[in-house]
Amino acid sequence: MFEVYRKEIKWGGKLLTFETGKIARQADGAVMVTYGGTTVLCTAVGALTAKPGIDFFPLTVNYQEKTFAAGRIPGGFF
Amino acid sequence: MVFFKREGRPSEKETLVSRLIDRPIRPLFHKNYKNETQVIATVLAHDMENDPDVVAILGASAALTISGLPFMGPIGACRVGWDGNNYILNPTIAQMKDTTLDLVVAGTSDGVLMVESEASELSEEIMLGAVDFGHGEIEHVIKAIIDLAEVAAKEPRPLPDEPKEKDEYLKKITPFRKKFEKAYKEIDKSSRSTILSHIRNEIILEFGELANSTLLSSLTKDIEADIVRSSILKTKRRIDGRDTKTVRSIVAEVGTLPRAHGSALFTRGETQALVVATLGTGQDEQIIDALEGEYRSKFMLHYNFPPYSVGEAGRVGSPGRREVGHGKLAWRAVNPLLPSGDDFPYTVRIVSEVTESNGSSSMATVCGTSLALMDAGVPIKKPVAGIAMGLIKEKKEFSVLSDILGDEDHLGDMDFKVAGTEDGITSLQMDIKITSITKEIMEIALQQAKEGRIHILNEMAKAIGSPREVLAESAPKITTMKVKLEKIRDIIGPGGKIIREICETTGAKVDIEDDGTIKIAASDAESSQAAQSRINDIVAEAELGVIYTGKVVKTVDFGAFVNFLGTRDGLVHISELQNARTEKTTDICKEGDDVKVKVIGFDDRGKVKLSMKRVDQDTGEDIENKKED
């Protein structure tokens, strides 16, 4: 079902892994990057046609941290 | 917050990292590509060692590189630390606590595109060395992404065509070039903008309503940019008549708002910031809920850019990404100079209202913050100033511009902001659009930025050169005291009863830390002293053999209870009231009498045993010891 590609290098004494082909396959580009034990899923999508009437490049970047990444439920105090 | 168990609006960190990803990738898209594009980076796992921000830049770069979109990457990125002798590649979160540099660099293999940093007064040389070191290290990652793309990349999308009308349009616009050239000789900003908008209207009229207005405005912009750039390179004069090195005239003022704890008005040319410092207590600290755990911040800086500052009418609301980013940049510039919590127990909040803007308002905020902190009496280590710089390069020629105007922003091939003290850099931010800026050029640019910074520091010193010795009358007074750990529960009392009562009766705020440090904050000295003496009373311990003055609180058959030390009572047994035998306690003393007592021991429940007969009730002298002499 999946056509997975991986690339691993040792960088700054830790393993850096790029993986694509398994998750978020409908995005134009989707790569899971893992450095040490930190993992970020990055996706890139571009519309097929230009938006008419704008003279700037409509790029949006959203970086989001999920609290499950740290094994927590948001909002609570412990 | 407590009731919504899902991630809400973006945190400050999320907003900042979104910008950090955006800045180096934006200039690498093909200039004709105007399709709506979105990059989403989602942190799925955090090992508490490696900050996900750099990982997210790498992922964005890799995802774009294999996406088939017209992205001229890949880029790499890394974090660089400095331990005093060596650069550290991608320091862990724990290592970051001991390093004097936090620098993120991103770029292609040809050149650096972005630098973002905070440093403890490091030299230009060390900063540049860090950029260079980082750029060398990201080469490995770029190679890895290329390897991945070779097997996994999608077919590249066809590059967007040049609009077919372009040549025809260019032919028609070129005659206006002369008019623009003349207009840009006008030094005064408002008459220049009037003439410029007049010419732009003429062009639109020439083309008529059906014209491709997007193409038209971008071609016009190109011509204008070219005029300004080549004129600077040729004549070394800028659109407002300055040479490349001169900083606009500066007026610095402190104590602008008499009721604020500290305030300053910093004006540089047509850019102005009203900066206000407010002091608070431990209860005012900001609690930040980060992935790596909750922590507290004693220094906050809030930057606001109201629309009137540029003569516009607009919406006023919660801060946008730009405002958050500028605020953080100024925060980084000032943070390394703040006193430690032990030296200065106050929480500090800075608000910067940009009241006028023509470029470089974040750096005006840095200068205004330094002034306002000194006005408030915050013992910052040194004054700090910031300057926004530009760099224009055509082939071999280049010019470095100090203190750029709004009109010069984005015109340059490198926009950079440097903040620091007379001794070193605390913050360096760079955005570079071309890859041919060498280390040597950067060195010259940073040297010119340093000259500008020193000039601004001197101008600021005319208003205030060092922190005031005393805090403003209206600022809270914080006194620190230390108590034994086992006394903490006595001060807090059951369910916080005692501490609440102290706060209510004295008007002071009392914070108790786990190590027994007590911080008392009060609006005046009187209430602070009242709270201190209440706490002293609670923690004081009766010492054997010491004589105290007390008050009889109750008489009973077997003696008198005397309150002698704060809230502490002890019993004077009937046999200890006087040397002779006593029939009734009330023969000797009654409730409310002032008496002198000596501590003669403690019973097995810790209750204090007192004596009156061993003390001369008139002089307070110890009679017992005398007898022995």
On whether both B179 and B305 belong to a single domain, the answer is no
- How does pLDDT run across B297-306, given as a tens digit for each residue? 999 999 999 9
- Which chain B residues are closer than 8 Å to A18 by Cβ? 58-59, 62, 144-145, 148
Identify the domain boundary among B426, B461, B496: B461
On whether both B18 and B136 belong to a single domain, the answer is yes
**Residues of chain A falling short of pLDDT 50:** 77-78
On whether both B301 and B422 belong to a single domain, the answer is yes
Helices of type H across B10-69: 12-25, 52-67
CB of B212 less than 8 A from some CB of A:
no
CB of A50 less than 8 A from some CB of B:
yes
Residue A35 in any domain: the answer is yes
Distances (CA, A) of B390 to B41, B65, B446: 31, 29, 11
On whether both B182 and B141 belong to a single domain, the answer is no
Best of B11, B23, B38 to substitute, by most chain A Cβ atoms within 10 angstroms, is: B38
**Beta-carbon separation of B69 and A65 below 8 A:** no
CATH classification of the domain holding B212:
1.10.10
Nearest to B59 by CA among A51, A10, A63, A78: A63
Among partner residues A40, A62, A66, which is closest to B59 by beta-carbon distance?
A40
Overall number of domains in chain B: 5
**Which ipTM did the prediction report?**
0.96
Q: Which residue of A has its CA nearest to B31?
A: A57
Residue B395 in any domain: the answer is no
**Residues of chain B falling short of pLDDT 70:** 1-3, 209-210, 566, 625-629
Residue B4 in any domain: the answer is no
On whether both B385 and B273 belong to a single domain, the answer is yes
> How far from chain centre, in Å, is Cα B38?
29
Best of B93, B148, B216 to substitute, by most chain A Cβ atoms within 10 angstroms, is: B148
CB of A60 less than 8 A from some CB of B:
yes
**Beta-carbon separation of A16 and B144 below 8 A:** yes
Residues 11-30 of A with CB under 8 A from B: 11-12, 14, 16, 18, 20-21, 27-30
- Which chain A residues are closer than 8 Å to B21 by Cβ? 61, 63
User: What is residue B389's predicted lDDT score, i.e. its pLDDT?
Assistant: 94
Sign of the CA dihedral with B415 first, then B417, B422, and B425 last: negative
Residue B612 in any domain: the answer is yes
Nearest to B405 by CA among B389, B384, B385: B389
User: What is residue B612's predicted lDDT score, i.e. its pLDDT?
Assistant: 86
CB of A70 less than 8 A from some CB of B:
yes
Best of A25, A65, A73 to substitute, by most chain B Cβ atoms within 10 angstroms, is: A65
Residues 6+ apart with CB under 8 A from B386: B330, B333, B362, B363, B364, B365, B366, B367, B417, B418, B419, B420, B427, B453, B456
User: What is residue A78's predicted lDDT score, i.e. its pLDDT?
Assistant: 40
On whether both B85 and B60 belong to a single domain, the answer is yes
On whether both B593 and B517 belong to a single domain, the answer is no
Residue B158 in any domain: the answer is no
**Beta-carbon separation of B56 and A49 below 8 A:** no
**Beta-carbon separation of A58 and B36 below 8 A:** yes
On whether both B272 and B352 belong to a single domain, the answer is yes
CATH classification of the domain holding B499:
3.30.1370.10
CB pairs under 8 A between A and B: 258
On whether both B24 and B138 belong to a single domain, the answer is yes
Identify the domain boundary among B121, B152, B183: B152
Helix (H, G, I), strand (E, B) or coil at B415: strand
- How does pLDDT run across B592-602, given as a tens digit for each residue? 888 888 888 88
**Beta-carbon separation of B66 and A64 below 8 A:** no
**Beta-carbon separation of B38 and A44 below 8 A:** yes
Identify the domain boundary among B508, B539, B570: B539
Residue A1 in any domain: the answer is yes
Residue A32 in any domain: the answer is yes
Q: Which residue of A has its CA nearest to B216?
A: A55
Residue B3 in any domain: the answer is no
Q: Which residue of A has its CA nearest to B292?
A: A70
CB of B35 less than 8 A from some CB of A:
yes
CB of A2 less than 8 A from some CB of B:
no
Residue B25 identity (one-letter amino acid): I
On whether both B228 and B365 belong to a single domain, the answer is no
Residue A56 in any domain: the answer is no
Best of A23, A41, A57, A61 to substitute, by most chain B Cβ atoms within 10 angstroms, is: A61
Among partner residues B39, B55, B157, which is closest to A35 by beta-carbon distance?
B55
Element (H, E) at B35: strand B35-45
Residue B209 in any domain: the answer is yes
On whether both B275 and B183 belong to a single domain, the answer is no
- Which chain A residues are closer than 8 Å to B73 by Cβ? none
Best of B6, B18, B50, B295 to substitute, by most chain A Cβ atoms within 10 angstroms, is: B50
User: What is residue B2's predicted lDDT score, i.e. its pLDDT?
Assistant: 53
CB of B529 less than 8 A from some CB of A:
no
CATH classification of the domain holding B619:
2.40.50.140
Residue A61 in any domain: the answer is no
Q: Please give the residue range of the domain that contains residue A11.
A: 1-45
> Could you give the CA distance from residue B296 to residue B293 in angstroms, rounded to a whole number?
10
On whether both B377 and B426 belong to a single domain, the answer is yes
For B581-612, b/e burial (b = at least 16 CB within 10 A) is ebeebeebbeeeeebbbbbbeeeeeeebbbbb
Overall number of domains in chain A: 1
Among partner residues A5, A29, A40, which is closest to B41 by beta-carbon distance?
A40
Helices of type H across B309-381: 321-334, 361-375
Residue A8 in any domain: the answer is yes
Q: Please give the residue range of the domain that contains residue B506.
A: 477-539
Residue A31 in any domain: the answer is yes
CB of B40 less than 8 A from some CB of A:
yes
Beta strands in A1-78 (DSSP E): 5-11, 14-20, 29-35, 38-50, 59-65
CB of B14 less than 8 A from some CB of A:
yes
Residue A76 in any domain: the answer is no
Give the distance from residue B571's alpha carbon to the nearest chain A alpha carbon, in angstroms.
46
